Structure 1
Amino acid sequence: MRRQTKPNRNEKWAPSAAGLFSIAGVKTLLQFLRLGKKSGALLSMAVATAIYMWFYQWEFALGVTLMVLVHELGHVAAARHKGIPVTAPFFIPFLGALIMLKRNPRDAETEAFVALGGPLLGTLGAFVSFLIGLATGEPLFYAIAYIGFTLNLINLLPIHPLDGGRIASSVTRWLWVAGALGGLVAVIFLHSILFFLLWALFVWDLISKYIVHRGKTTEYSFWGKIEVPFEQIPGENWMLIPFREREPLPYRTYSDLDGKQWVEIEWEEADVVHLIKMQEQGIIRSVVSTKVERRWRQTPKVVVLRYQIDYEPHEIENYYEVPDKIRWKFGISYGALALVLFVMLDIVQMMLNAQGGFLHSLRK
């Protein structure tokens, strides 16, 4: 027969504290982010929390989501301070979340500033959870803090597209080499296939950029299509029109005030101008039609032009030119934050071990 134990005072109000902590945090953070109209961000946040709840208790699941949200809030605040508009955070279960800059940074210093904002505020959020754990004696808050410190420490690895890789660009790009080696250790430690893929892509990009194609221009291509209904094509004998294939297409390109590059492709036979947003700034080398299809058996009937755009990514020549004073500033901040995270992880680990370990803290 199982012996029933009387719950102590902390056990009585710890769930209430977790609920109040979560509700107050969500309300404040969402109000700061103005996510009322960002249904996609809210939905992704809810889905991520629901998936975490499938594996863990709801207090821990919501706490993990809050740790991720606080981290992304740091990026949002830093980007707004630099006058860079951003999207609302989009949550990816077991990977964290991401925000997209609506305008590219003009230099490595700005990129590093925005990147450092996430781990800084994220570390503060994890520390708050740790303090609540000290005040209540509830190991659940230690577990949440442990996840928060771990996520922010992993993000400091000097690997693109992690925050550490972007901060390293303003300190010294040799840190990317250390990131390639340290990332391999992290892969072995985490046993994560997704992180391995991230690390492998980063290493391949380094080898490709600085060894294989060093000093050479690298061209990229992407493909798309233009669909035009038959009734919009000028002339009556559209079936007899010799649509050109594998020939250059007229185009023009320009950038708007937000730093986004656009390409207008002119399809003369169909009397259509198609507008495309480039994923990155680049020098357009060619725009070519690759194939034309007449889909007259479907409804509505359309003519499809498939095209290929070849371009060379544009890099600002002095992008990585950062004053020595700024390099030291980011270098010291980067190292100090990593040291704080290491120390706090060790302290939280000891607190959890004293109360039965990490998994024991998640039991209801």
Structure 2
Amino acid sequence: MSNMYFTEEHEAFRESFRDFLQKEVVPHIDKWEETGIIERFIWDKFGEMGYFGISYPEEYGGLDLDIFYMVIFLEELQKINSGGFAAAMWAHAYLAMTHINKEGDERIKQEYLTPSISGEKIGCLCITEPFGGSDVAGMRTTAIKEGDHYIINGSKTFITNGVYSDYLVVAAKTDPDSKHAGMSIFVIDRDTPGISSTKLDKLGWRASDTGEIAFDNVKIPAENLMGEEGKGFPYIMQHFALERLVMGINAHARAEYAVDYAIQYMTERQAFGKTLDKFQALRHKVAEMASQVEMCKEFNYSIAKRLNDGGYVVKEASMSKLLSTKMADEVIYEALQLLGGYGYMEEYPMARLLRDSRLGPIGGGTSEILKEIIAKIVIDKKEYKPAT
């Protein structure tokens, strides 16, 4: 572990969180993967232990710790081999809650951030739409102001925690005729009349309740607007950097888990009178895999440090997600191959890991979109700036 980034306190937290996951989460993972429902008690336990409050202010029950505690939180979640469970946790803590913390006023923080930190309330972030995908500016969901209320109509899809969450952070067009400048952000209670959701059947992330959500004349108070009207797009873009770094960190962590598992398997499995870790072709393959993981990991740590220091890392976070998720898919594919037929069996971790990893280059902005964003920065010299 790099001492450039992690202190003894960080490592003590890692050990504590790892023990917590093994004791409280791992025994239930297979059931949650099968049912697609993460039981509510674990959210309460995460809240009791302070894990949802790692990055949030103390006045709302958080711990206000540096970003490398978040890095550890993400890495260890990837190493219990349930991308769906991990996604449910980090989508709550670093997608929905980020907007509540950054754009919510004091009332909203008291009503949503505090219980989110305690695990009492679960949030989801609703941006992607059935006809929009990565085209955020082209969204069709509208929020039309009528007196002291907004009326929400439209739909969202591929929403993590989209079925069982208690509240929704929703992006909608307050000016349907405008693109970027016409978007705003709202917080909406799940039980508001007119909201319906459908669970989606996915290749991986089976434990996660990914949903499609419909809004049919949903009436919400005007005070549920977060931040300024019309500033939704820059808010979203600003937080995309964190989301993409989160997904980059997730990718290097699950790839590292795959390499470690493959090495352990190779030390135990024998062929032609010796263990697999003695065959040069396989040893060199592992050397390549480990090198790829280490390169992405160090890059991601350096981005995290810059973000922690207040840097605006849109370019670097986009590069992180692009390269780290591609690397993870390739490394996990090779790790499965190293297990031979056992890699293809559900009782071993690689089959699930391979399925779960494949979402990496898709969610949070596809690799194709990220390449264009990076191209605009490095070729066209476009500058992305924080929301003011």
TM-score by structure 2 length? 0.28
TM-score by structure 1 length? 0.29
